[in-house]
Amino acid sequence: MKKRALLLGMMLTLAVTSVGCGKKEADANITEPIYEESSEEAVVGDVVDNEEEEDLPDGKVRNELTGELIDESLANQRPIAVMVDNESIALPHYGLTQADVVYEMMNSTENGRITRFMALVKDWETLEQFGSIRSARVTNCILAAEWNAVLCHDGGPFYIDEYIALPSVDDFNGGFSRVNNGKSSEYTEYIVSGDLDKKFASTGASKEYNKYYTENHFKFAKEDTDIADGTSAVTVDIPFPHNGSYLTYDESEKVYKYFEYKKEHVDPQNGNAQLSFKNVILQCTPFELHSWGDGVYDPNGYMYYKIENNKGTGYYITNGKAEEITWSKGGLTDNTKYYDASGNEIKINIGKTYIALVPDDAWGDLVVE
């Protein structure tokens, strides 16, 4: 059955000032495809809901993106937020199963409302090949900033420049490795081993969280938890018509497996594993086309989601069940927060999370059953 939700609150328009385009770095050396057979106190570790301080194994802290245990050397390491092309010709995606949080959102109102991924990776030094990499939009700058993540992209419309120039937004724009995969050039740029170390060294960007970091993005449940009084959510069919995104619940593994273009989304970098998530969050989100004034809008259909200083409705989905939630976000670096029907911040299960920003004008076509 179709689940419908009403948008809450007044929608605030995000003002964007036109600025000139920035220069893109030159491409790195061409490489061959990679295949695989089969100073401050730590700011992570206190992300799981415990009444008492958690007794963790020696040398371990919790990943603030997933709640999972990681090496304490990664405690302060900032994640990267990678723009990944989602046109069918860009498939297969490499490395995406190593992402901790994956956003999917409409990239343009044209081409059947084609989507793009923004993948957050905490332990990025383990990446061997990731992508392919494409351009960013204003919404990606806003979301990367709330995680204090470094946005990895190749270009974008001129109106992202105002955001990129902000001290709270760090980005690596182009100049990643090119892989000879037989496709046209726009589908050949990937992050490969060593690229990110070179980027951090050449730009001076901090590898560790800086003063713009806001803690406690998610609250994690201490133990795997079902949604009390939740409704059935075995299939989640998202109204992204171009690529037909949907997730199905695998009861044996207790995760949601991702599909698009009517097939499993697999990762050849990691043994053709299917992209899977413990948690699914859907946000009903208003959007607006960029305008040059006098009613002249971007002919490419490029738009931004009105998520700053705003709130709305949505769903939290895990373990085969769904509950209606609300979401809210303050300014640029403020975390998006999610609340249950009683107004309490939800606790999500430990594991990877998929977040879809669903356009409010298509929310009624969302299917959760």
pLDDT digits (tens, 9 = 90+) for 8-62: 332 323 233 232 223 333 344 444 444 333 334 434 556 776 556 788 999 999 9
Rounded Cα distance between 292 and 25, Å, is 27
Q: Which two tokens stand for residue 125?
A: 């030094």
pLDDT greater than 80 at residue 119? yes
Nearest one of 22, 314, 315, 2 to 161, comparing CA atoms: 22
Q: Which two tokens stand for residue 220?
A: 């994690």
SS3 content of the chain, % helix, strand, coil (to 5): 15, 35, 55
Angle at 329 between CA 357 and CA 76, to 5 degrees: 95
pLDDT at 61: 96
pLDDT greater than 70 at residue 248? yes
Identify which has the larger pLDDT, 46 or 363. 363
Identify which has the larger pLDDT, 135 or 48. 135
Identify which has the larger pLDDT, 296 or 97. 97
pLDDT digits (tens, 9 = 90+) for 170-199: 999 999 999 999 999 999 999 999 999 999
**Mean pLDDT calculated for residue range 349-366:** 98
pLDDT greater than 90 at residue 2? no
Prediction pTM value: 0.88
Asked if residues 337 and 327 have their Cβ atoms less than 8 Å apart, the reply is: yes
